[in-house]
Amino acid sequence: MANQEKAIDVEKLLQNKLKSVSISTLEASIAKIVSDLVGEDYKCSISEVKYTLFSGADFHIKIELTYNPNE
């Protein structure tokens, strides 16, 4: 049984759950991770989102340093 290949669940692949994820939530999450890694505040913007047939997505991501004039 260990050598038996696992059957591919085509229905699961065709159900792209990424469509239910908010783009603004992705932007905020990515910005937080980058900010934590770099130690400065960054913002993230996502554009040109294209969902692929098999549960994926292609998009353009832009990360910029947040300008804070009070610092």
**pLDDT 10s digits, 53-63:** 778 899 999 99
Domain interval for residue 28: 12-65
Question: What integer pLDDT is reported at residue 14 of this predicted model?
Answer: 72
**pLDDT beneath 50: ranges in the chain:** 1
Domain membership flag for residue 3: no
| 70 assigned to some structural domain | no
Helix (H) and strand (E) counts for the chain?
2, 2
- C-alpha 70/C-alpha 7 separation (Å) is 57
Rounded Cα distance between 69 and 46, Å, is 25
Whether residue 5 is contained in a domain is answered as: no
pLDDT for residue 2: 54
Which pLDDT belongs to residue 10?
A: 73
- The answer to whether residue 44 is domain-embedded is yes
The answer as to whether 41 is a domain residue is yes
Task: Judge if pTM exceeds 0.85.
Answer: no
**Assigned domain for 2 exists:** no
Q: How far apart are the first and last CA of the chain?
A: 62
Number of domains the chain contains: 1
Is position 38 within any domain? yes
